[in-house]
Amino acid sequence: MNDTPIWLLSGLLVMLLCISAFFSGTETGMMSINRYRLKHLAKKHRSARRVHRLLKRPDRLIGVILIGNNLANNFAAIVAAIIAVHLFGEGSEFLAGALLTIVMLIFAEVTPKTIAALNPERIAFPASYLLKPLLKLLYPVVWLVNHFSNGLLRLLGFNPDNVRDDVLSKEELRTVVDESREDIHSDHQGMLINILDLEKVTVNDIMVPRSEILGLNLDDDIESLVDQIVATEHTRLPIFQGDINNVLGILHMRRVNRLLRRGESELTKEAIKRFAREPYFVPESTPLHVQLVNFQKNKRRIGLVVDEYGEVQGLVTLEDILEEIVGEFTTNFAEEDQDITANPDRTFSIDASVNIRDINKVTGWNLPTDGPKTLNGLLLEQLEHIPEGNLCLEFDGYRFETLSLSDKMIDRVRARHLHPAKNKDTEDD
């Protein structure tokens, strides 16, 4: 090559640098591509399917890329040394090596790899057209290199046959949803997050407490029962005899509607029992995602929550679970539900029987939910006794002032978050 013109050698060097840049960028593009987006695109685009097949054997893909890259780099070093000798004489090879290293870092490594990292699909898809036939052409060399490389990996304690696991955990999936806020509407993003949280919440967390269950007590006279049926806003009511633990069934208002149209005299307690469907019981520790499936399997929309002793603790409906996913069906829970009302002084007047999770939703607070389910229970746990008069207490950055009491519980409180800005900064950190 000593008699080769300088311009030809220079062109060859530039071509080798371009080849090196191609393999460097291709390596980064292939390894940086989003595997889940690639699986989606593989259903529509042939180039995506080609890249997907290449990535199934990353050892072979990396082998052919590195063989091409190293060949280009080594030949570039030889050509650069010959050019240096032509121009500056013997001994200038070291200078050529130093200059070539800088040039290769800029133009054949950093720049193409940065471009590929920013646009992996635009680099990987076109490159796959060349890599696939190149892999077939160099397969014997690739096989030999991988054979020794995989043997070395096994000696070091690694299994080269273990392909990267692309299965996402729930927390990783949550992060993916959180980072997709530009592509997913905030409402839809919230629903997806709520679905992931269903397994962390049990029916005990969202049920209507036993004391608030509206039902038909067959010990009442028929006129009172008819008045309840006519006035109720619910489509289903539990019926019981004397006590909710002695539940007889669930009555759908649609089934008694035709009897009421004929005249109240045709609606009797026996008819109510006859039209009622057998009760459906739900263990209080059942996670919401399990209960949602159970409602679907059993074709039910309402269930009575029972504890380990079979005592009825509350009532849960399909609507309650759906609200955990899509949010409250009312337009503004804080304004329409008088149980939680916002005051001008940034405090909230709260019915102490309200569920703590509902308080957190309305106020944006972070009251603990792993213990008592209602605010009354939380405050009594802190006090360790039922107060004889109104008092004020603080804990976990919140202040609670009791407004009204009864013999057994706290009825209503005024609550304030003492350091909302400080807590928010801490959470962000």
Q: How far apart are CA 138 and CA 144, in angstroms?
A: 10
Within a domain: residue 160? no
> What is the number of domains present in the chain?
4
Tokens 């000798």 correspond to: 85
Within a domain: residue 163? no
Q: Mark whether 132 and 89 lie in a shared domain.
A: yes
Residue 345, token pair as written in the block: 């002084």
Q: What percent of the chain has pLDDT over 70?
A: 90
Within a domain: residue 370? yes
pLDDT reported for residue 194: 83
Ramachandran area for residue 217 (φ above 0: left; ψ -120 to 50: alpha; else beta): beta
Domain termination site, one of 296, 326, 356: 326
pLDDT reported for residue 424: 43
pLDDT reported for residue 333: 43
Q: Which helix (H) or strand (E) holds 244?
A: strand 243-252
How does residue 3 score in pLDDT terms, banded at 50, 70 and 90? Answer: low
Q: How far apart are CA 418 and CA 290, in angstroms?
A: 38
Q: Mark whether 110 and 51 lie in a shared domain.
A: yes
CB 210 within 8 A of CB 312: yes
Q: How far apart are CA 215 and CA 208, in angstroms?
A: 12
pLDDT reported for residue 428: 44
Res. 298: pLDDT tops 90: yes
pLDDT higher at 88 or 225: 225
Q: Mark whether 366 and 390 lie in a shared domain.
A: yes
- The alpha carbon of 303 is separated from its chain's Cα centroid by a whole number of angstroms, namely 28
Q: Mark whether 320 and 194 lie in a shared domain.
A: no
The greatest distance separating any two alpha carbons of the chain, rounded to the nearest whole angstrom, comes to 119
How does residue 427 score in pLDDT terms, banded at 50, 70 and 90? Answer: very low
Q: Mark whether 29 and 141 lie in a shared domain.
A: yes
Domain termination site, one of 326, 343, 363: 326
Residue 269, token pair as written in the block: 């307690």
Res. 192: pLDDT tops 80: yes
Res. 331: pLDDT tops 50: no
How does residue 335 score in pLDDT terms, banded at 50, 70 and 90? Answer: very low
Within a domain: residue 1? no
Q: What percent of the chain has pLDDT over 90?
A: 38
Residue 234, token pair as written in the block: 């619910």
Within a domain: residue 162? no
Neighbours of 3 (CB within 10 A): 5
The average pLDDT across 118-142 equals 91
Residue from 385, 324, 378 nearest 356 by CA = 378
Burial class of residue 123 (count of CB atoms within 10 Å of its CB; 0-12, 13-18, 19+): buried
- Residues 226-278: pLDDT tens digits? 888 888 888 899 999 999 999 999 999 888 876 666 654 567 888 888 889 99
How does residue 165 score in pLDDT terms, banded at 50, 70 and 90? Answer: low
Q: How far apart are CA 73 and CA 84, in angstroms?
A: 16
Q: Mark whether 138 and 185 lie in a shared domain.
A: no
How does residue 4 score in pLDDT terms, banded at 50, 70 and 90? Answer: low
Q: How far apart are CA 314 and CA 203, in angstroms?
A: 9
CB 173 within 8 A of CB 193: no
pLDDT reported for residue 426: 42
Q: Mark whether 23 and 78 lie in a shared domain.
A: yes
417 phi, psi to nearest 5 deg:
-90, 120
CB 57 within 8 A of CB 135: no
Q: How far apart are CA 287 and CA 259, in angstroms?
A: 38
pLDDT reported for residue 330: 53
Res. 352: pLDDT tops 70: yes
129: containing domain: 6-155
Q: Mark whether 192 and 256 lie in a shared domain.
A: no
The average pLDDT across 300-325 equals 92
Within a domain: residue 71? yes
Residue 7, token pair as written in the block: 């311009």
pLDDT higher at 329 or 315: 315
Within a domain: residue 298? yes
CATH code of residue 423: 3.30.465.10
Window from 174-188, 228-242, 323-337, 349-363 with minimum mean pLDDT:
323-337
The average pLDDT across 12-27 equals 93
How does residue 1 score in pLDDT terms, banded at 50, 70 and 90? Answer: low
Q: Mark whether 208 and 318 lie in a shared domain.
A: yes
Residue from 373, 333, 335, 370 nearest 353 by CA = 373
pLDDT higher at 395 or 419: 395
Q: How far apart are CA 302 and CA 318, in angstroms?
A: 6
CB 65 within 8 A of CB 54: no
Q: How far apart are CA 325 and CA 329, in angstroms?
A: 11
Within a domain: residue 161? no
Q: Mark whether 353 and 268 lie in a shared domain.
A: no
CB 414 within 8 A of CB 403: yes
pLDDT reported for residue 415: 93
Q: Mark whether 294 and 250 lie in a shared domain.
A: yes
Domain termination site, one of 129, 155, 181: 155
Neighbours of 200 (CB within 10 A): 12
Q: Which helix (H) or strand (E) holds 194?
A: helix 186-197
Q: Mark whether 41 and 89 lie in a shared domain.
A: yes
Please report how many Cα atoms fall inside a 13 Å half-sphere around the Cα of residue 308, on the Cβ side: 1
pLDDT reported for residue 93: 79
CB 259 within 8 A of CB 266: yes
CATH code of residue 236: 3.10.580.10
pLDDT reported for residue 245: 92
